Chains A and B, each alone.
Chain A
Amino acid sequence: MVPARQCRPEVGMLLLAMLLLAIGVLVYALDRGGAVYFLSGWTAALAESDLFGPLGNHLPTFLHTLAFILITAAILRPWPRQLPAICATWFVIECLFELGQIAPLDARLAAAVPAWFDGIPVLEITTDYFIRGTYDPLDILSIGLGAVVAYPLVHLCLQGD
């Protein structure tokens, strides 16, 4: 029989990841007036605030990286030796999406988006993501920060493992 406390580190990390992603959603919903695809139609009545201040510009990329490292580490537990690789992989993935917004690479990627994406929720705005998104080096920095912070955070969550 497996004791209940066996799953606690994973569950804790997953819950923490959900919380971080929820904060990211709040940034878009409150500070950016819901002006993103995944909130369209949900937050029309919300007035814009400045709850997160200048931090809100780069907080989502930081939180997204951090959250998905936590999720991956939770799934792969007990593989603590893989943690540097997990952090590095998510850093690369997140950076690739950000770098894909640099012109003229953005147009090449947009041109390569298959026609069948059209009409499929989320996928249908892939072209917009690359073309209308703006590359910002500070986003790369926040992604890097997310990956760095994740390392001790995961270790902390796995303490006693």
Chain B
Amino acid sequence: MNMRSDKFRPWRVLWLIPIAVLAALSIVATGGSGGGGGNGDDDDEPPLVILTNYNFFLTNLNNGAPLTVDVGGEFTVTVDIDDLFIGNLDLNVGANNTVTFLSYLLRATNRIDMTVTSQKGSPLDGTFAILFTADIAAAVGDAPTSGTFDVVTDGETVTVTILANGVQLSLNGGAAIDYTWDEFNDLLDDELNETWLRRASLAGGAIEFIVEQFFNVANVLDELELVTFNNPFVEPCDMFTGTQPDGVLAQGEVTITWLGSGELSDGDDFTWQFAQCWDQDDEEILDGTVTLQDYSEAVELNTGILFVIGFGGLGAGAPGGVIFDLTISETVEDQGVWSIPADGVITMSGGFVLSIQQP
């Protein structure tokens, strides 16, 4: 007689629960330092290698404050990145790892929820969603050349198809109408235009605005190491050609201040202050502060490849990010005298978490 019991005891299955938890924890616990995640060596530190292609991610700030733009005190636009906004970057790496951004993709499946509130009441008031249905591709500094997105409100879907030289708009699958980029951008301003056309134009402007803010911050990442050696780092802005607007400096300045010490490291904060800083190319004055919180950088220890850089963490509730408290004033010139139109002042608040990662 076999004295060993071959009878299975079902309660033993319960042991699999802590075993599965232990397995998961032991896998996760291999991360968090260097190569992490069960692979990668920790050899002597090689020189920093910046790749020519990265993914980038934007999420809402930990405090939930979405990017908000007040336009001339007349209406407010809130831009809510739905959980995660994904893109991809091509870049050129020059001598001393100087980075030039070349082109980008905004991924299909991205979603932005926008809320418009006006003081006087406007047909544009309310909430609508921008759904990316095909990757949007563009060279940096140029208009996109391909991609599709839908602008969706209750019972109305506007499909915006990006063409080589403009866009094609279609309401609820109806006939498509072609516009050049200039015409598309101007649709918003003309109150005689149908609301769906104006809303589509606003959506296009919002996407452009987010991309612009992303690249503004991405470009400053290159300078942070320099700032730590020369803190605070002060740079003069463009000097007004002719007479500057009333109460505005002829030449403002921008100051980047590192709030850390020792070596630049994860968790460090920066302030990026604009003191009536005029940009001649954009004909805009920037005034205020962009706070860059919780710097994050990770380098593959055995290859030296930069695989994460940005501000703030992607996990829900993770601290940090790019926080705007900034006023942007449009300037116009008339016979050598610059002025700021009353409706040309926008104020930005809120922000986003930004992370650039190796694909």
B220 is an interface residue with CB less than 8 A from chain A: no
Residue of A nearest to B30 (CB): A36
Q: Does A147 contact B (CB under 8 A)?
A: no
Would you call A128 and B5 a contact (CB within 8 A)?
no
Chain A contacts for B59, CB-based, 8 A: 111
Instruction: Judge if B255 is at the interface, Cβ distance under 8 Å.
Output: no
C-alpha gap A106/B307 in the complex (Å): 13
Are A131 and B357 CB-contacts (below 8 A) given A6-B3, A37-B33?
A: yes
Write the nearest CB–CB distance from B13 to chain A, whole angstroms: 7
A6 contacts which chain B residues (CB < 8 A)?
Answer: 3-5
Establish whether residues B36 and A36, one from each chain, have CB atoms under 8 Å apart when the complex forms: yes
Q: Chain A CB within 10 Å — which of B24, B37, B298, B359 has the most?
A: B37
Bound: A98/B301 CA distance, A: 19
B315, A111: Cβ atoms closer than 8 Å? yes
A61 touches B38 (CB 8 A): yes
Contact flags A55-77 to B (C-beta < 8 A → 1, else 0): 01110110010001001100111
* Given A60-B30, A118-B317: A75 touches B357 (CB 8 Å cut-off): no
**B84 cross-chain contacts in A, Cβ below 8 A:** 104, 107-108, 111
CB distance from A160 to the nearest CB of B (A): 10
Q: Write out, one digit per residue, whether chain B residues 16-57 have a CB within 8 A of any chain A CB (1) or not (0).
A: 100110011111111111111111111100000000000101
CA distance A68 to B19 in the complex (A): 8
Name the distance in Å between B312's Cβ and chain A's nearest Cβ.
Answer: 11
CB-CB under 8 A from B358, the residues of chain A are 103, 134
Most buried by A among B26, B57, B315: B315
Give A124's nearest chain B residue, CB to CB.
Answer: B32
Given the known interface contacts A68-B19, A68-B23, A110-B314, the answer about A35 and B8 at a Cβ–Cβ threshold of 8 Å is no
Q: Given contacts A107-B357, A133-B38, A139-B38, is CB(A37)–CB(B31) below 8 Å?
A: yes
Q: Which of A32, A68, A79, A115 sits near B35, CB closer than 8 Å?
A: A32
Partner of A71, one of B19, B41, B298: B19
Nearest chain A CB to B176's CB is how many angstroms away? 31
**8 Å CB contacts to B: which residues of A59-105?**
60-61, 64, 68, 71-72, 75-79, 90, 93-94, 97-98, 101, 103-104
**Given A57-B41, A114-B317, A134-B39, CB of A3 within 8 Å of CB of B32:** no
Chain B residues positioned under 8 Å from A155 (CB to CB): none
Per DSSP, chain B at the interface is loop
Q: What are 22 pairs between A and B in contact, CB < 8 Å? A: A3-B3, A28-B30, A32-B41, A36-B29, A36-B33, A36-B34, A37-B32, A68-B19, A68-B23, A72-B19, A75-B15, A93-B24, A94-B27, A103-B357, A104-B86, A107-B57, A111-B314, A111-B316, A122-B28, A131-B308, A132-B298, A132-B308
- A138 contacts across to B, CB distance below 8 A: 39
Q: B120 on the interface (CB 8 Å rule)?
A: no
The chain A residue with its CB closest to the CB of B62 is A115
Chain B residue nearest to A115 in the complex (CB):
B317
CB distance from B309 to the nearest CB of A (A): 11
CA distance A104 to B355 in the complex (A): 11
B35 contact set on A, CB distance < 8 A:
32, 35, 133-134
Closest residue of chain A to B3 (Cβ to Cβ) is: A3
- Partner among A60, A118, A122 whose Cβ is within 8 Å of the Cβ of B38: A60
Interface centre among A28, A38, A61, A72 (most CB of B within 10 A): A38
Interface centre among A76, A78, A132, A139 (most CB of B within 10 A): A132
B66 within 8 A of A: no
**Residue contact A35 to B42, C-beta cutoff 8 Å:** yes
Within 8 Å CB of A115, what residues of B?
Answer: 315-318
If A37-B33, A107-B55, A118-B318 touch, does A61 touch B39 (CB 8 Å cutoff)? yes
B154 within 8 A of A: no
Are B28 and A125 in contact (CB-based, < 8 A)?
yes
Give the 6 A-B residue pairs with the shortest CB-CB distance, closest first: A133-B37, A115-B317, A129-B31, A37-B32, A127-B315, A38-B29
Chain B residues positioned under 8 Å from A161 (CB to CB): 4, 6
Give CA–CA (A68, B84) in the complex, Å. Answer: 34
Interface contact A129-B39, CB-CB below 8 Å? no
B57 contacts A133, CB within 8 Å? no
A103→B359 contact, CB < 8 A: yes
Name the A residues within 8 Å of B307 (CB-CB): 132, 134
Contacts of B19 in A (CB 8 A): 68, 71-72, 75
